[in-house]
Structure 1
Amino acid sequence: MTNAWKRALAWIAAAAGAAMLSGCAAIAWAGCQDDLRPADAAVILGNRVYPGQRPSPALAARLDEGLAIWRAGKVRALIVSGGVEAGGVLGGEGDEARVMRAYLLARGVPGSAIIADPFGDNTELTGRNTATILRAHGWRSVIAVSQFYHVPRTRLALRRAGVTDVRGAHARYLTWGDFIALPREVVAYPVYWLGRPAWL
């Protein structure tokens, strides 16, 4: 390989690295800009459930954020959207929406204020299902609650599903895994914008 080719490849690698870093910064900044104006509902996206019907720390943080929004009177209902984990724990302990609902009930949210979506297996399905729920209740606005890196794509999925008034709020929980997830979101966001494939 000639020196010219080596220099060209080095420039390409540097440009790709810079683009990825810029994308990560943009996703992180957008995901941390909470918009807590009053809305009809908040949708809390599911995450891993531990044995014993215990939400993972990330899921608990999402639920706590949604709970704070509800207690502040910002929304009239909380939509809990998640799937049943593949190969989940016996007794339905992998049912994210059920575990999320139980968590909120135990903290004083009345059952009438919780709407469970057990078919939110991915972000796009959560967007579609939430849009259907909003239409069924005659509602128009929603606050998406998830990890900071996931909020921008969730908002996009909701808008693509026909929800025009979408806000966001991020969970107050941070791990190194969140920063590992950022590059995936840099790729996933434009892919969602163009049309989500089955693997996202």
Structure 2
Amino acid sequence: MVLASAGLLTHPHSADIAVVLGNTVDRNGSPSPRLAARLTRAWECYQRHQCGIIFVSGGIDSSGTNEGEAMRAWLVRRGVPGDRVFVDDAGNDTWSTARHASEFMRNRGLSSAVVVTQYFHLPRAMLALKRFGVDEVSGAYPRFWEFRDFYSVVREAPAFLWYVVRPIK
């Protein structure tokens, strides 16, 4: 119930845009299982008309693999029209993704977003978007769990506190 009251829903509110945070992509362009789960969740939002645009954000790793382009290709292969998927290939972290997504939204007159990431990451990702001026933010997460989530949950507490006080530059 805490997740639902915080806007972290398995069935998110309808929004103008879904913002999908990146994760590992293999050298062959295949998303890791964690990232594939996020993309499936975003695809479900699109299919259910809970968002009209999908904004995928990730970086370019040392081998030259572009997370955002790999995410876009995955979604297009599953039937999302290419003109409905926008790539941020400079989303190297949550803060950068929030900055870029909010700017994208402002430039297009969009006001609401659903963030798609892991359950433990949603509060910080949603906070970051709000810090950058997006007032209507909800979240969606895939039903996916890995052993490393133990570490990730612990790491999120100080990271969230940093995002509360971090200066907007």
Match of 2:143 among 172, 184, 188: 172
Match of 1:51 among 14, 27, 36: 27
CA distances 1:109-143 after superposition (whole Å, capped 9, x unpaired): 00111011111011000000000110111100000
TM-score in terms of structure 2 length: 0.92
The DSSP-based 3-state class of the residue aligned with 1:54 is coil
Match of 1:84 in 2: 60
Distance 1:182 1:42 in 2: 23
Corresponding letter in the other structure for 1:47: N
Task: Report 1:37-186 matches (<5 A).
Answer: 37-85=13-61, 87-88=62-63, 92=64, 94-186=65-157
Distance 2:116 2:158 in 1: 21
Structure 2: runs of 5+ lacking an equivalent: none
CA distances 1:131-178 after superposition (whole Å, capped 9, x unpaired): 011011110000000011111100010001111111100122101111
User: Does structure 2 retain, via aligned residues, the 8 Å contact 1:43–1:81?
Assistant: yes
Identity among equivalent positions (%) equals: 38
The DSSP-based 3-state class of the residue aligned with 2:148 is helix
Shift of 1:95: 0.6
Corresponding letter in the other structure for 1:147: Q
Distance 1:75 1:151 in 2: 17
Distance 1:35 1:104 in 2: 19
**Which structure has the larger Rg over C-alpha atoms?**
1
Distance 2:98 2:11 in 1: 18
Distance 2:7 2:34 in 1: 15
Distance 2:7 2:135 in 1: 18
User: Does structure 2 retain, via aligned residues, the 8 Å contact 1:31–1:149?
Assistant: no
Distance 2:12 2:112 in 1: 11
The DSSP-based 3-state class of the residue aligned with 1:183 is helix
User: Does structure 2 retain, via aligned residues, the 8 Å contact 1:42–1:143?
Assistant: yes
Runs of 4+ in 1 over 4 A off after TM superposition: 29-32
* Superposition RMSD in Å: 1.8
CA separation of 1:84 and 1:56: change in aligned 2, threshold 3 A: same
User: Does structure 2 retain, via aligned residues, the 8 Å contact 1:44–1:144?
Assistant: yes
User: Does structure 2 retain, via aligned residues, the 8 Å contact 1:49–1:55?
Assistant: yes
Bigger helix fraction: 1
